[in-house]
Chain A
């Protein structure tokens, strides 16, 4: 449905599907992973049909996540190259958080925070994937010291990834008019002009 023909297209259908596959995998992985992370979260295993099922499913979902993230990485990595302007933006993130974003450096399709998030996720998923395979006793049996190192890295990068994703989700809720970009692909011109002025100019030519 086209609400307003003037709206700007931000994501294609296949980009959106890709994003939501990652999102679903992430939620399932975080819920099942946290269950092993600390006893306080163990009851989450019942969402998966018990501890054994959570243990069986988690790594397979992880592999799906790794593959779908690789796809989105190939799609978006060029748009996420960090520039001076992004570091400037990040240095002034406090102004942004105060809701006073009018003087922030003008941003392209992604702002410094979004780009940082992209790279943190990329590194975390790479680490989680490698160490996840190392922990996967159903298929692999590595020397115990390696498995111990993998356990530390896997749980640490999972915690970092979950924290960054909380912020990612909150940012989408906080900045009104963003979530629709991932639901049906478009944003309003005013939204683009306010939050991504440079991108707005490139697309609209004004």
Chain B
């Protein structure tokens, strides 16, 4: 799902460095939940641009539709109703891949080049290299990738890497009627977020802030939240996401060490043979057995 012209910074299951002569600016999408009206224009634009159509589902009683990310719905709006100081608040969050700087999906992926991270920060799946094992789901701290039942490939938001490669903003950003979605360099997006946060604080949301979680090295999709101290309010946005320690053990130094240990066992056996020679039945025992048999 990606344009090769973008510079690749990180490649799944690859132990040698990727080309690094050029560097590009880091990009980011900023989602200002305080100005989102939940119209789902972004959801529709995502389907439209990427040519994906989910099955027509049924109404679950709330606005969430579809109710979860799927291989054909790379972004969904999540609506939560909470009570704050006796007032109802309707918190709407556009969910999808966060394009982590330290992506758990890429770390977990066993197939070389099935997941790449571009120099601009976008994390992209190359479905032609995907083997369908689902390790990306196991690695992701945000529960984002989905495996298609039809082709057993993993899918998720591409941050419109194909559009970004030719200097266009993502389709969702283009479609947003209120300006709740912004796209640009990560620096600019952080600056813009500070303006929004200052405005929110003035209006009484003194805990307003930017969601750019350091546990995954920051993300290339960031939120402006009115309650940045409690991101879980927004349909379970994780408080301090990071690659699970279990995934770190599973995919960390233990693997090459175990491979080395296996190599040593094999080599050790070979040299044991060379040094000690085979363990053969001794002539003495053979003679004893013959004597016994004769008796």
Contacts and interface: CB of A to CB of B under 8 A. Distances in A.
Task: Give the dominant DSSP class at B's interface.
Answer: helix
Interface in B255-284: 255-256, 258-259, 261-262, 265-266, 269, 272-273, 276-282
Contact of A148 (B110, B112, B247): B247
Interface stretch (B84-92, B128-136, B184-192, B214-222): B128-136
A99 B276 contact: yes
A16 interface: no
B14 interface: yes
Interface residues of B, number: 47
A166 B138 contact: no
B26 interface: no
A36 interface: yes
Nearest to A53: B131
Interface in B102-142: 110-112, 129, 131-135, 137-138
Contact of B131 (A52, A175, A177, A193): A52
Task: Give the dominant DSSP class at A's interface.
Answer: helix
Contacts of A166: 262, 265-266, 269
A137 B147 contact: yes
Contacts of A138: 132, 152
18 contacts: A37-B258, A39-B112, A52-B132, A97-B276, A137-B133, A145-B246, A151-B246, A152-B246, A155-B250, A155-B258, A156-B258, A159-B262, A162-B262, A176-B279, A176-B280, A176-B281, A189-B289, A193-B289
A193 B284 CA distance: 11
Contact of A167 (B14, B244, B269, B282): B269
Contacts of B254: 156
A188 B269 CA distance: 25
A194 B262 CA distance: 30
Contacts of B202: none
B68 to A, nearest CB: 12
A175 B280 CA distance: 6
A55 B132 contact: yes
Contacts of A73: none
B281 A188 contact: yes
A194 B285 contact: yes
B15 interface: yes
Best-surrounded residue of A41, A52, A156, A206 (most CB of chain B within 10 A): A52
A152 B251 CA distance: 9
Contact of A163 (B131, B261, B292, B293): B261
B110 A191 contact: no
A38 interface: yes
B83 interface: no
B281 A194 contact: yes
Contacts of A191: 281
Contacts of A36: 110, 133, 135
A40 interface: yes
B229 interface: no
A149 interface: yes
Interface string A82-103: 0000000000000001110110
A100 to B, nearest CB: 10
